Structures are given as C-alpha cells and as structure tokens.
Amino acid sequence: MAQFKLKRLLVPEKHDPATAEVLWQNEVHANRLTAIVMFCCSVFLILCMILTAVGVFVENPKTVYTSCTAALAWHLIPCIISYRYKFAKPWLKYILLLGLLIGQARIDCGLGYNVTLAILLPVVFSTRYYSAELTITVAAVSTVVFSTSTYLGALTGFTPADLNIVSIGVSHATVDYARRIMQHTFLPKWMLFAIISGVCAEIAGRGHYMVQRQANISQENSRIETELNTARAIQMHSLPEVEEFVKDRDVPFDLATSIVPAKEVGGDFFNYFYVDPTHLALLIADVSGKGVPAALYMMIAKLLLDSIGSTGKSPAHVLAEVNHLLCDKNLEEMFVTVWLGVLDLTSGEIITANAGHENPIICRADGTLEEITTKHGLVLGGIDGAHYRDEVLKLQPGDMLFVYTDGIPEANNPLEEMYGVERLKAALTAAEKTPTALVNAVSEDVARFVGVAPQFDDSTMLTLRLNRLLEREGLRVYPSQESIKEVQTYVESRMEEAGVPMKAVSKINIGLDEMYSNVVHHSNASWAEIICDADAEQVTVILRDNGIPFDPLNIPEPDVTLSADERHVGGLGIFMTKKMMNELTYRYVDGCNEVRMVLKYNESEANK
Amino acid sequence: MIIEKKIINKTLEIALTGRLDTVTAPDLESELTASIDGIEHLVMDFTKLEYISSAGLRVLLSAQKMMNEQGSMEVCHVNDSIREVFDITGFTDVLTIK
C-alpha cells in the first residue's frame, strides 16, 4: 500500500504534468460519479417517503419524513454545487464526500437498522479518487460521524429498539439504552467497517499507483513516438531530392523517386550521385526486416555504399567491398539487397551489379519493356568474400530505367493476392513515359490493387530517363608520371589544329605542366580529364581530377625578390601560371577538382 | 629534351634542346650532379630551349646555389617565353642572363 501521508490531503503530491493530468481527469470523473450516486440516493429518499405514505414501509412516518428530508438536503446541495462547477474543482470532492457522509449519517440516525450499510457508502466512493489518504480520512470521519449519529439516535429515541437486545419501547430511551446500542450494535458493525475501510484504502492506493504507471508508460510511448518521428526525418533527409540535385545543373536525364515506409522508419533506400562529371551512380536497396533495426542498418549500408561508390570503382568491386565491411560484426544476421549502376552519360552504358535485388526494368523509347534478368550475387552482409559481377546495359536516349524494392511486387490486397511483376509491367506499359508519370502511375495502380489491406513492407521506386548523351570532350587518363607526355601531346595537337600562336602554346604548356604535375604527384586521383578548347582569340584548358580537394589558388605567393640562396621553388609554378594566364580559376564540383585556365591573344599573333 | 654537354678546362657548357619541364627536369638535374664537381664556370645555352616550367627553375636554382660556392654560372640565348618566365618569377635578378 502506498505510504500514508495525511499532509497530502492539504498539499497535493507533486506529479509530472502527464500523471497530474491523468489524476485530475480521474478526479473529475469520480466527482461526477459521486454526484450521480448522491442524486440517485435523493431519488430513493423521496421514494422512501412515498412508500411510507402509501403504507408499504411500516416505519414510524414521522421518523421517516424528518430523517429523509434532512438527508435529502445533505445529498442534493453538494450535487447542485458540483454540477454548477462542472465537477471540475479540486475542493468539490470534500464537499461531495462530506455531504454524502452527513446525509447518510442523518438517515442512520433515524433509521439505523434499515440502513446498516449506509456507513460504507462514503468510504466506498472515496476509493474512486485513488487516494489512500482520502479513503482513510473518510473512514475516520465516518467513524466519528456515524458513532455520533447512532448514539444520538438511540438517546433521542429515533433508533428503534432491537428486540433481540432490549425489550423496551421508544419512550424508554435512556443513556443506558444508548450505551447498549453502541456496545451491541455499533461496535460489531464498526469492526466490519474498519476491515472494509482497510480494503478500500488498499484499492485506492493501488489505483493511484496504476494511474501513475499508466501515465509513465504513455509518456514513454509518446517519447518513443517523438524519437521515431525525428528518426524518420533524419532518414528521409539522408536521401537525395531530385529538385535539389538537378538545380543549377545541365543534366541530360530526368529522375523521379518514391519511398513509402511501412512503419515510421524503414530499411529501403535509394541514392544517385555523380561519380564524376560524366558518370552518374544510381542505387536502390532494401534492408531485411523493418522498423528501427532495419533503419539503423540502412544508415550504415547507405554510408558505405555512398563512400565506396563514389571512389569510381566498378559496381561489382563496390558491392564486394561493402559486403566485406558489412559482414564484419554483423551479429544480428541482417543483410541488404542492392542494385547499383553507374551510368556513363557520354555513351548511355550502365555498368551494373546486383546483390540479390529485384530485377530492374528498362522501358525502351519504342514502348517495349525489358526485364534485366542477369545472374544476381548474394545479398550484402550475407557471406564475407561473396563475388559480384559487373554487367553492362545500354540506354539509348529516350529509354527509361525503372528500379524498385520488393514492397511493390509483394504488395498484397485484402484477398492476400500479391501485386506481382506482371501487373507492374502492365502499369509501366500503360503509363506516360516520363519518370514522374511512371512513378505516379505505379503508385496509384498499387494503391488501387491493395485497397484497404494493411501493408507490411516498405516500397520504393527510382526511375531515370536518359534524354540525350553528353559529348565526351576531353582526354581521360590515369594520372601517372607517364601520362604527362600523353596529356602534353593531346593539348598541343588541339592547339595546333586551332592555329594557336607559338608564344601562347609555350605559355599553355608551362601552365599545363605546373597544374598537371600537381595532379600526378599530389592528388591521389584515380583519373584526370583534360579538355582543351582553342579558337582565334583564346585557349581554354580545363583540368579535372577526382583526387584530394586542393585549391592551387589558395596557397601563399612566393617572394620573388629573394637571392638565389634564400630562394625556394615551392609555389612558384602556380604563381607563374597565375601571372601568365588571363584567367585561372578553381572549383570543387561533384567530387572533382577543376582548374580552368584561359589564355587570350590578339588576332595579329593568331595569324602568325 | 636533348642535353649536350661540353667540358673545357673548368668550364661546363650545357646546351638544351626542347622543353625543360616536369618530365625532363630530373634528367638535367642528374646530368648536372654528375658533372659539376670541380667546375668553376657553368654556361647554360638555351638557344634551342622552347620553354621552362617551375620544375626547370628548381634545377636552375639549385645549380645557381652550387655555382655560387664554387664559381659562376650564366644562362645565355634566352628566348622571349623563357625571358618572361624569368621576369615573372624574379629569376632575372638571381641568374646571370646573357
């Protein structure tokens, strides 16, 4: 039983807001219940008077009328007051219980034997307030009030004689008679009352504890819900947004995506990012299971796929490497199915690798569908050392690629039928051939099929339409020491074709030597791309690499006034290039360093 | 790049043909290291040199530093492109250009 503290009656126990709210609502309900019961008692009291008047009750009418009328007032007035305040005042319970107590005592006073149970009523109702303190207090007050009422009733002759105990009439009421009533009637009744009061106090205390616990649980639940909502926001923000992705970019493709998690957080994800300016990586994945475990695993898998995927390695290599990392300490036996493709925007070729994921579908420009059924590798996180194979697909301008997770074909309707790949293909065939229309059409078709059946799996789609091919403009090399000659030759031949004057050729050669040797020696890049564009007025050389971000314009200029012995050559090359070029700019874009050199010359020189 | 060396008494003459850049500078450096012992006068003939990049400047600078200790060094027949590089980088003041 909860610890009894009388002062809690005056100073309410401090509760957290949620518990206090639940307890307060309960108190309002209890007030209402007590008031209703008191109102019912009032009705019965009137009924008693009527039954006495018509002779059904043979009690002394005068006693009945006086007792009932007084009790009626004690019952009705608190009812009306509590109704007036809509049962919602903290002090109402005292008024109600006191009214009930005194009202019942007043009946007890006149009709003691007829209403033996009256003494219990206030205590029983006090339990409804879930406060052991209140119940015990009411029990104590009941003891005082009812002993007084019984005694006074006996003394004044209201209480009729119990013929088993005394054989005297009403007019013989004396102090001695009252003492005997107290001793033989009230005392045994009170003993029973004390036991019942104890039980009531225990019930009230227990009720209080239960309410508190329930409030804690619901508070915990709402905390979890808030956390899940935040987790969902984090998860959703980890996925790219098409609009933001294509913003300020001239992209030769359209993209559309859709993701619907079955729970707050899910295990499905997709991504698309530039590996370099002409290669777009696309991936879609589905983690086993759902909810929080899947979501945690998803974030790990996504991070690994993104970081290893952006190194420029082939999809099969990326999957093998990520698989190896996921297998390490994968105690929960989770796994993820992944389809990864790298689209060469200059040729339309997609190198793909599949780790146990659904077959992608290509919607050709002429309307035919092709399901790509190349052999799959094992899911990632399954067995360390699993092998994956690169397959090459080819997209022509106008072709669309559609990849999805199993939530689409495995969506079930109320008859437990599955949506299936055939229905998916039919929807794809019927849809208008833009990525957004395709995704919307499939979403709507699945929703129509599913109807009211609850879905248990996340469903995700990613669609790309290749609109045109990018022109490959430059030379792409592995930045080795040996490549320097190749790059020089390439740039020189481009300048020769355009008839760039000798002096400008030398300058460009110097600039190229400075910038490209930096890439070779310091960038750690796995590729470099050189674009040279020359016309009658200027030469533009763009140098890109996927190495460590390095802004050559951001290094301090050397002091060119020092003597030979004090001199260092560090930074001199970049300084020279800066001085010789008309424009030298640097930016880091799509994971690549990009240096752009522009050299202008006047026409007379160009004609030399 | 072609490196032509001529040693007369304690004078070393080096004539360069082609480009002195990242690719070729290490060759010049090793040629110099091999022949510079006991040399009191170093002449670099740039008549047939097309251009020079900072990698080449590095070699010229280290040669100049060595010759400061054991004699003198001069660079001759410098074309416009190379002259511009020397001007930009302040090498005009460091080297003896004829």
Contact A331, A270 (CB under 8 A): no
* Minimal-distance CA residue of chain B relative to A560: B90
Measure B78 CA to nearest chain A CA, in Å: 14
Q: Is the ipTM of this complex over 0.85?
A: no
- CB distance A517–B93 less than 8 Å? no
Q: Find chain B residues with C-beta within 8 A of A576's C-beta.
A: 53-54, 85, 88-89
Q: Which of A509, A513, A576 sits opposite B89 (nearest CB)?
A: A576
Q: A487: which chain B residues are within 8 Å (Cβ-Cβ)?
A: none
Contacts B89 to A, Cβ<8 Å: 558, 560, 572, 575-576
Nearest-by-Cβ selection for B22 from A503, A517, A579? A517
Query: Which pLDDT does position A564 carry in this prediction?
Result: 72
Distance from the A593 Cα atom to the nearest Cα atom in chain B, whole angstroms: 21
Q: Which residues of B62-98 are buried (b: 16+ CB within 10 A; e: fewer)?
A: bbbbbbeeebebebeebbebbebbbebbbbeebbebe
Whether B55 and A575 lie within 8 Å, measured CB to CB:
no
From chain B, pick out residues whose CB is under 8 angstroms from the CB of A520.
Answer: 22
b/e map A449-487, b = 16+ CB within 10 Å: bbeeeebebbbbbbbbbbeebbeeebbebebeeebbeeb
Residues A279, A335 contacting (CB under 8 angstroms): no
Contact A327, A379 (CB under 8 A): no
Choose from B20, B53, B61 for mutation: most chain A CBs within 10 A.
Answer: B53
Cα(A37)–Cα(A39) distance, rounded to whole angstroms?
5
Shortest Cα distance, chain B CAs vs residue A576, angstroms: 7
Low-confidence ranges of chain A (pLDDT < 70): 1-12, 157-173, 331, 472, 569, 603-608
Question: Any residues with CB less than 8 A from the CB of A377 and at least 6 apart, and which?
Answer: A316, A319, A353, A354, A355, A356, A386, A387, A388, A389
Nearest to A305 by CA among A350, A238, A207, A244: A238
Asked whether the beta carbons of residue B57 and residue A564 sit closer than 8 angstroms, the reply is: no
- With an 8 Å Cβ cutoff, are A513 and B55 in contact? yes
Asked if the Cβ–Cβ distance from A484 to B55 is below 8 Å, we say no
CA A4: distance to chain centroid?
Answer: 42
- The answer to whether the CB atoms of A507 and B81 lie below 8 A apart is yes
- For β-strands B41-52 and A279-287, DSSP reports them as unpaired
- The closest alpha carbon to A338, from A242, A405, A273, belongs to A405
Binding-face residues of B in 19-78 toward A, CB within 8 A: 19, 21-23, 50-55, 57-58, 61, 64-65, 68
Q: With contacts defined as CB-CB under 8 Å, which chain A residues touch B54?
A: 513-514, 569, 572-573, 576
How many residue pairs bridge chain A and chain B with CB atoms within 8 Å of each other?
Answer: 78
Residue A579: closest C-alpha in chain B: B88
For the record, the structure tokens of A19 come out as 């518990």
Distance from A497 to chain B by nearest Cα, in Å? 19
Which pair of structure tokens corresponds to residue A73?
């007032």
Q: Do B65 and A517 touch (CB under 8 A)?
A: no
Q: How far is B35 from chain A (nearest CA, A)?
A: 21
Residue A93 vs residues A4, A7, A45, A518, B50: alpha-carbon distances, Å: 19, 16, 22, 86, 105
- Domains, chain B, with CATH or none: 2-93 (3.30.750.24)
Q: In A, which residues are within 8 Å of B80 by CB distance?
A: 503
* Residues of chain A positioned with their CB less than 8 A from the CB of B61: 564, 567, 569
At residue A331, the pLDDT reads 67
Main-chain dihedrals φ then ψ at residue A223, nearest 5 degrees: -65, -45
Contacts B57 to A, Cβ<8 Å: 569, 572
Among A509, A516, A579, the residue with its CB nearest the CB of B88 is A579
* Structure tokens, A63: 């006693």
Q: What is the pLDDT of residue A347?
A: 86
Q: What is the pTM of this model?
A: 0.58
Q: What 3-state class would DSSP assign to A188?
A: helix
Q: What is the DSSP string of A433-448?
A: SSHHHHHHHHHHHHHH
Chain B interface disruption, residue of A576, A577, A584, most B CBs within 10 A: A576
Residue in chain A nearest B53 by alpha carbon:
A510
